[in-house]
Amino acid sequence: MAVHQRFSLTNDAIISTIISETKKLPSKMERLPMKLLRAKDFFGTDILPLRVLHREPQPPYGSHHHEFSELVIVTGGRGVHVTQQGDIPISMGDVFIISPYEVHGYRELEGLGLVNIIFEWERLPLPELDLHDVAGFHTLFILEPRLRRHYSAQRLRLRFEALQYALNLVERLENELVCELPGYRFRTLALFMELIIWLARQYEPVSGAEDGMIPHRLGEVLGYLEHHFTQPISIEQLARMAGLSRSSLFRTFKRALGVSPLEYLLRLRLKHACRNLRQTDEPISEIAFNTGFHDSNYFSRKFKAVMGMSPSEYRHRNRICFEP
């Protein structure tokens, strides 16, 4: 079972894998005297773990971390965001994600205003569908939080009109949470989904800043892998797409995601294979072929190496009953 715990593929969202890897950070941070904000103190037992918090102005706040994710929108002023990757200046229009257990704080504040949307991604009933095809989603949620020290120019910054549009979405979302009219959870989730996809589509390559374009290009690579994982894909092909050499792609990919590009592709294919094993009656050999494996024996070996059990055993343990 130790192998199975290294990489969870039970959730259909590949993002949950990245989050689960981030949760390993506390073992390194437990020695540090800092405040841990717990999910139960903000969400209680609500089936919709999603809240809006206003910090206008944001007071100086020392290093802390929390069990949930945080989408931060800077509404005004300026300050310094203190992170594990260094001190990063922030100002009106900046948008960024704070991952679970990521240590951070704020200092040198000059009228800094923040709107924080806090949430537990794994507990939200999100129908992700083709969300992972969007390059900006990968950039905002996965790549920028892990590469911000190296490529701070790639942070999403909204112009004034776009910022007002985003804040209007947040206000409508918050009104649903406050008023609690019948069906408010359904509409709150819909507005949250609208906000996420809208922000993801705002990412554009940074003109005149070649290094700043790398996270966006990696986001395009991840979106391509998500959409074409059943096809043969080479490192050379991905390197051309990212505008990087093979070695630079490998190094940047490893820094951002903790795995090589081909290992990420393997796990992406296994994620889809797990879903098919749970939800269909297809033969294992057919599932292997339909998820990008052209050798069922190779598929079985890799599946067991990552999941700690064979495909047939996984299906038996996680099977969804089918109508005859």
Distance, in Å, from the CA atom of 307 to the CA atom of 269, rounded to the nearest integer, reads 13
CATH of domain 2-211: 2.60.120.280
At residue 130, the pLDDT reads 83
CA distances from 152 to 16, 105, 209, 241, 307 (A): 24, 17, 11, 21, 36
Parse the chain into domains and list their residue ranges: 2-211
Predicted confidence pLDDT, tens digits, the chain (324 residues): 333 333 333 334 443 443 344 334 333 333 445 788 999 999 988 899 999 999 988 888 888 999 999 999 999 999 999 888 788 899 999 999 999 998 999 989 999 999 999 999 989 988 878 888 888 888 888 887 777 666 555 678 899 999 999 999 999 999 999 999 999 999 999 999 999 999 998 876 444 444 556 777 788 888 888 888 999 999 998 988 888 888 888 888 887 788 899 999 999 999 899 989 988 889 999 999 999 998 999 999 999 999 899 999 998 888 754 443
Helix, strand and coil content of the chain, in percent to the nearest 5, comes to 50, 20, 30
Write the DSSP assignment of 18-84 as a string of letters: HHHHHTTTHHHHTTS--EEE-HHHHHTT-SS-EEEEEESSPPPEEEEEESSEEEEEEEEEEEEEEET
pLDDT at 119 (0 to 100): 96
Report whether 245 contacts 255 (CB < 8 A).
Answer: no
Would you say 122 and 77 are in contact if contact means Cβ atoms under 8 Å apart? no
Please tell me the distance from the alpha carbon of residue 66 to that of residue 72, in angstroms, as a whole number: 14
